[in-house]
């Protein structure tokens, strides 16, 4: 079932993801697992029974429940989606009215006629028509150049602009901060860039639509001002030039400009050669010898020129904007690691002992593997950890020094509980000399698409540049949406290498990996507390 999404939904979704990350940093991932699993059982599962719902529906239903709970906590809670909905409702209307007034005011003042000197057709046409045509052509040229260079239209307006602005203003003070502050700032900028990539061209269309609404409103105001001015005043139009331009040249230019409408409305909608000659202004001769019919013959031409060359393209682009925004909404990918982890928390049963006392997942998995050693009966565990993995299977990449002590069954169970993936295959990473060619060759030789990747790393060893290069190369080999999980473990214990990670080590890894700006790259502890 394809769920209908709106921009306000994604804004609220990002807001809740940010809140959840803060909560996990303060109280651990376990609190998110408990909350979302309880939410699923009480609020979502009754609607799922007997109906085939896809991941989009589950995510949207979770969003609805989170919104409801947020409003229950505080009736005055104002979510970003609500703010956006109000802005998108009233903002375009305000802009429309302001631009109608602006267009009408500009044209009305430009058509001011005192009876001594007629309205300059050349100047009016240049300011009102030619200037708007040049704006549209410049926009089209930039769009073509972006396409030729392989950049999507979202580059016109996206969060990457915020990234560039912050980087620009940050540069003078960059070297005044310590290494930790610089790393945090670099991670923030990379996260902003990654978020903008995750929504494709979606962030481009709202300002594009607002720009076209402004253009439509401006030209409607201009056309209205022309009609009002013609109806209540006796306007006179004339043209003049210091350059020796013949009347025949002007007549030919006018006929070419009038081609879009002259075939339908006839030649009476633009001045002919005689009227053009009769409306030519010569400074020393004045205008009293000119015929009124010739001076008034220009206004239909100016009116229809604004309509055809300024208003209609804006209306067309407005329609393109609505279609583009709808298509961008339908193309937003739900394969990001945030979504995968959310679905995992919703649909994965929690491991519990026979009593009501909760224990860390690592302890329970170890108990399931070594019941006689830990004194906990395997049948005392609840939760199907042997069923199909929520997110499918992945390929585990294990460093040389960890591979001999990495129990495949224990790794599989921990991976299921932490990420919702089962381990389909394990490969050894020979990273002593940075030799990853065997891994790359193995991935390239696979006939199917690159599977989700799992990289086991020891968190107490800070990430080095070679690791970043390795991950970047993996991304180049795989699809942009292929999940890559860097699973962290602490210092090896006497019985197992799967130990907990300290908050400091986790923060260092996340900030360093975030500089890659990869939205489908996840850094998380393997052992859930």
Domains and CATH numbers, the chain: 83-157+204-331 (no CATH), 360-529 (3.40.50)
Contacts of residue 322, Cβ cutoff 8 Å, sequence gap at least 6 = 209
Of 166 and 231, the one with more pLDDT: 231
Instruction: Output the pLDDT for position 129.
Output: 93
Is the pLDDT at 126 greater than 80? The verdict is: yes
Of 243, 244, 232, 250, the residue nearest 301 (C-alpha): 250
Indicate the SS3 state at residue 479.
coil
β-bridge partners, 382: 352
Q: Which residues contact 503 (CB under 8 A, 6 or more apart)?
A: 25
Contact between 367 and 414 under an 8 Å Cβ cutoff? The reply is no
What was the pLDDT predicted at 384? 45
Q: How confident is the model at residue 494 (pLDDT cuts 50, 70, 90)?
A: confident
Backbone angles phi, psi at 487, to 5 degrees: -95, 125
Helices 299-306 + 205-232 axis angle, to 10: 170
Q: Which tokens go with 215?
A: 């253009």
pLDDT greater than 90 at residue 226: yes
pLDDT at 114 over 70: no
Task: Of 229-243, 307-321, 355-369, 450-464, give the range with the top mean pLDDT.
Answer: 307-321
- Is pLDDT above 60 for 487? yes
pLDDT at 205 exceeding the cut of 70: yes
Task: Read off the pLDDT of each residue in 70-91 and give the average, rounded to a whole number.
Answer: 80
Say which residue, 482 or 97, is predicted with more confidence. Answer: 97
HSE-up (13 A, CA, CB side) for residue 58: 24
The answer to whether 439 and 429 have CB atoms below 8 angstroms apart is yes
Neighbours of 361 (CB within 10 A): 24
Our measurement of the distance from residue 351's CA atom to the centroid of its chain's CA atoms, rounded to an integer in Å, reads 37
Give percent above pLDDT 90 in the chain.
Answer: 21
The answer, yes or no, to whether residue 367 has pLDDT greater than 50, is: no
Report pLDDT for 277.
Answer: 85
Q: What is the phi/psi pair of residue 341, to 5°?
A: -70, -35
Mean pLDDT value of segment 209-230: 94
Least trusted range by pLDDT, from 111-115, 379-383, 510-514: 379-383
* 3-state secondary structure string across 158-221: CHHHHHHHHHHHHHHHHHHCCHHHHHHHHHHHHHHHHHHHHCHHHHCHHHHHHHHHHHHHHHHH
- Output the pLDDT for position 176: 52
**pLDDT tens figures, 274-305:** 888 888 877 656 566 666 777 788 899 999 99
485 touches 454 (CB < 8 A)? yes
The pTM assigned to this predicted structure is 0.73
């Amino acid at each position: 079932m394809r769920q209908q999404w709106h921009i306000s939904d994604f804004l609220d979704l990002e807001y809740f993801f940010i809140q959840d990350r803060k909560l996990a940093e303060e109280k651990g991932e376990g609190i998110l697992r408990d909350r979302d699993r309880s939410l699923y059982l009480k609020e979502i599962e009754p609607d799922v029974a007997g109906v085939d719902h896809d991941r989009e529906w589950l995510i949207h239903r979770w969003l609805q429940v989170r919104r409801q709970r947020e409003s229950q906590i505080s009736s005055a809670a104002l979510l970003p989606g609500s703010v956006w909905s109000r802005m998108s409702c009233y903002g375009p209307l305000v802009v429309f009215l302001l631009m109608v007034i602006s267009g009408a005011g500009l044209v009305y003042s430009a058509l001011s006629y005192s009876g001594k000197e007629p309205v300059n057709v050349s100047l009016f046409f240049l300011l009102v028509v030619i200037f708007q045509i040049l704006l549209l052509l410049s926009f089209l040229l930039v769009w073509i150049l972006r396409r030729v260079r392989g950049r999507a239209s979202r580059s016109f307006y996206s969060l990457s602009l915020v990234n560039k602005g912050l980087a620009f203003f940050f540069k003078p003070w960059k070297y005044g901060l310590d290494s930790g502050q610089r790393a945090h700032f670099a991670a923030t900028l990379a996260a902003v860039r990654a978020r903008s990539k995750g929504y494709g061209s979606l962030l481009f269309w709202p300002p594009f639509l607002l720009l076209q609404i402004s253009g439509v409103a401006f030209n409607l105001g201009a056309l209205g001002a022309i009609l009002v001015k013609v109806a209540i005043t006796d306007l006179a139009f004339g043209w003049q030039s210091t350059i020796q331009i013949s009347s025949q040249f002007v007549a030919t230019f006018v006929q070419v400009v009038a081609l879009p409408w002259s075939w339908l409305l006839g030649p009476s909608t633009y001045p002919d050669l005689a009227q053009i000659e009769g409306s030519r202004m010569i400074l020393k001769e004045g205008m009293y010898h000119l015929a009124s019919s010739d001076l008034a013959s220009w206004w239909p031409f100016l009116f229809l020129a604004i309509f055809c060359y300024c208003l209609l393209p804006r209306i067309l682009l407005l329609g393109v904007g609505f279609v583009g925004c709808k298509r961008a909404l339908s193309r937003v990918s739900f394969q990001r690691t945030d979504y995968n982890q959310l679905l995992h928390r919703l649909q994965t049963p929690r491991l519990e002992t026979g009593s009501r006392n909760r224990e860390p997942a690592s302890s329970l998995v170890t108990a399931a593997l070594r019941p006689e050693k830990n004194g906990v009966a395997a049948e005392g565990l609840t939760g199907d950890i042997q069923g199909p993995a929520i997110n499918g299977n992945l390929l585990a990449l294990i460093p040389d020094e960890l591979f001999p002590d990495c129990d495949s069954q224990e790794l599989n169970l921990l991976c299921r509980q932490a990420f919702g993936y089962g381990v389909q295959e394990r490969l050894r990473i020979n990273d002593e000399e940075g030799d990853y060619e065997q891994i790359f060759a193995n991935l390239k030789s696979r006939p199917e698409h690159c599977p989700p990747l799992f990289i086991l790393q020891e968190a107490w060893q800070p990430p080095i540049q070679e690791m970043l290069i390795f991950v970047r190369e993996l991304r180049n080999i795989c699809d942009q949406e292929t999940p890559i999980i860097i699973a962290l473990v602490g210092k090896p214990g006497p019985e197992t290498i799967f130990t907990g990670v300290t908050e400091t080590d986790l923060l260092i890894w996340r900030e360093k990996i975030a500089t890659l700006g990869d939205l489908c790259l996840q850094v998380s502890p393997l052992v859930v507390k």
